[in-house]
């Protein structure tokens, strides 16, 4: 690990001020992804701002009937929160499908959103990667890309977004509340928070340098049956090949979001609109424009089958 300045922030303002003093400074909360990347020297921040003592660890009702989740709420606590379990079950399910209990005990809500891809070439310092070293090339395009993305890819990058939680957040139309170095607060819709790679895959989010995520806000609950179905190479503690987040409303409408497929959590209005036509139609709508390789072409079939299974379970309950 490269040396860095360590600062234990005492308030949101202190954290933002400290970050503004050093170009390339990073905030650290759980650290479960960032510290790993620092050990590998994939990330080499000159300063680390510890935000663990900022108190952003509450789950509260908003005036509008939604939920405000502090940036530092641990994944375990969010999954187990009584309101989340009851009214936003897809979020509990997605969280519980990710990582291990030890990691969920440490990882935070904001950190989960900001975690980086597990593309093997992003991790391999000897290989070119536009995300790690802009302009160096992409070894994944012609490399081992079985679990890489098929939607919103570019000629520069096909890295999959790894988060399960973010897929549920996308489904639920979360907003990411931030504070910028100039003290300005804003809410970034989750749909705009992660960016498709284009020709700048190293720019992964809409956050500006030094901008801190302070909370995630959910709108009022989406009523219906909440589902998160994750398919992976082993039964636990593995990243998704394909995952489907869904809410089936009592009126026959449904909404869907997908993990394992996109360079960011994937949602398509056409897929929601196809709900009444069944799993196959939803899969076709969701996968329109998919660009696959010989190795990851199976994800199209797997998406259709995962949706078929989700629909079958829904019909069995109806």
Partner 1 sequence: MTIDDISRRGILKGGSALAVAMPAIASAQAKVPNGSAGGKMTSVTMTINGEDRHLDLDPRTTLLDALREHLHQTGTKKGCDHGQCGACTVIVEGRRINSCLTLAVMHDGDSVTTIEGLGSPDKLHPMQKAFIVHDGYQCGYCTPGQICSAVAMLDEIEAGIPSHVTDDLEKVRFSDDELRERMSGNICRCAAYPNIIAAIRDVAGKDAA
* Strand ranges across the sheet with 225-231: 225-231, 242-248, 254-259
Question: Least separation, in Å, of the C-beta of 24 and partner 1?
Answer: 3
Give the residue from 290, 297, 242 showing the smallest Cα distance to 270. 290
Minimum CB distance to partner 1, residue 186 (Å)? 24
CA dihedral of residues 71, 76, 80, 81 (deg, nearest 10): -20
User: Would you count residue 97 as binding partner 1 (CB under 8 A)?
Assistant: yes
- Say how far apart CA 272 and CA 290 lie, in whole Å: 17
Judge residue 20's burial from the number of C-beta atoms within 10 Å of its C-beta, 0-12 exposed, 13-18 middle, 19 or more buried.
middle
Q: Which residues from 134-153 bind partner 1, rule CB under 8 A?
A: 134
Residue 187 near partner 1 by CB under 8 A = no
Nearest distance from C-beta of residue 300 to partner 1, angstroms:
25
Please tell me whether residue 184 binds partner 1 under the rule CB under 8 A. no
Residue 1 CA to residue 37 CA, distance in Å, equals 9
Q: Binding segment for partner 1 among 23-31, 167-175, 177-185, 275-283 (CB under 8 A)?
A: 23-31
Q: Kindly state whether residue 31 participates in binding partner 1, applying the rule CB under 8 A.
A: yes
CA gap 200, 177 in Å, rounded: 24
Q: Which is nearer to partner 1, 49 or 268 (CB)?
A: 49
Question: Does residue 14 bind partner 1 (CB under 8 A)?
Answer: no
28 binds partner 1 (CB under 8 A): yes
Binding mask 200-239 toward partner 1 (x if CB under 8 A, else -) reads: --x--------------------------------xxx--
Give the residue with the Cβ less far from partner 1, 85 or 298. Answer: 85
Residue 166 phi/psi, 5-degree rounding, is: -65, -30
Q: Per-residue contact track with partner 1, 66 to 85, x per CB under 8 A?
A: ----------x--xx----x
Q: What is the smallest separation between the CB atom of 123 and partner 1, expressed in angstroms?
A: 10
Of the two residues 36 and 284, which places its CB atom closer to partner 1 in the complex? 36
Check binding of 110 to partner 1 (CB under 8 A).
no
Of how many residues is the chain composed? Answer: 318
Question: What radius of gyration, in Å, describes the C-alpha atoms of the chain?
Answer: 19
Cα–chain center distance at 164: 6
Q: Residue 59: in which H helix or E strand, if any? A: strand 59-61
Cβ atoms 2, 41 nearer than 8 A: yes
Using CB under 8 A as the binding criterion, the count of chain residues that bind partner 1 stands at 54
Q: Does 1 bind partner 1 (CB under 8 A)?
A: yes
Interaction between residue 167 and partner 1 (CB under 8 A) = no
Provide the 10 A C-beta neighbour count for residue 270: 12
What is the sign of the dihedral through the CA atoms of 154, 156, 157 and 158? positive
Binding stretches for partner 1 (CB under 8 A): 1-6, 8, 21-25, 28, 30-32, 35-36, 39, 41-48, 50, 52, 76, 79-80, 85-86, 89, 92-93, 96-97, 99-103, 105-106, 125, 132-134, 202, 235-237
């Amino acid at each position: 690990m490269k040396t860095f300045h360590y600062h234990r922030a005492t308030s949101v303002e202190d954290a933002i001020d400290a970050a503004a003093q050093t170009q390339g400074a990073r905030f650290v909360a759980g650290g479960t992804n960032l510290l790993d990347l620092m050990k590998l020297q994939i990330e080499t921040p000159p300063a680390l701002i510890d935000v663990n003592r900022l108190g952003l660890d509450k789950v509260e009702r908003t005036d509008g009937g939604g939920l405000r989740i502090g940036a530092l709420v641990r994944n375990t606590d969010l999954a187990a929160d009584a309101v989340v379990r009851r009214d936003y079950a897809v979020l509990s399910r997605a969280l519980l499908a990710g990582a291990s209990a030890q990691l969920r005990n440490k990882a935070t809500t904001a950190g989960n959103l900001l975690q980086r891809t597990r593309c093997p070439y992003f991790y391999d310092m000897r290989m070119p990667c536009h995300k790690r070293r802009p302009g160096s090339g992409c070894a994944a395009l012609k490399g081992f890309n079985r679990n890489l993305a098929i939607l919103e890819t570019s000629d520069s990058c096909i890295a999959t977004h790894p988060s399960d939680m973010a897929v549920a957040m996308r489904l639920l139309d979360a907003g990411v509340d931030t504070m910028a170095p100039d003290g300005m607060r804003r809410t970034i819709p989750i749909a705009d928070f992660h960016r498709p790679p284009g020709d700048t895959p190293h720019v992964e989010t809409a956050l500006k340098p030094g901008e801190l995520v302070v909370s995630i806000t959910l709108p009022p609950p989406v009523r219906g049956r909440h589902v998160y179905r994750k398919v992976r190479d082993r039964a636990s503690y593995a990243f998704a090949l394909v995952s489907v987040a869904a809410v089936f409303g009592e009126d026959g409408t449904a909404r869907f979001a997908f993990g394992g497929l996109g360079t960011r959590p994937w949602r398509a209005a056409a897929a929601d609109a196809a709900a009444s036509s069944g799993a196959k139609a939803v899969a076709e709508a969701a996968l329109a424009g998919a660009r696959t390789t010989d190795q990851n072409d199976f994800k199209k079939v797997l998406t259709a089958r995962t949706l078929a299974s989700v629909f079958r379970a829904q019909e069995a309950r109806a």
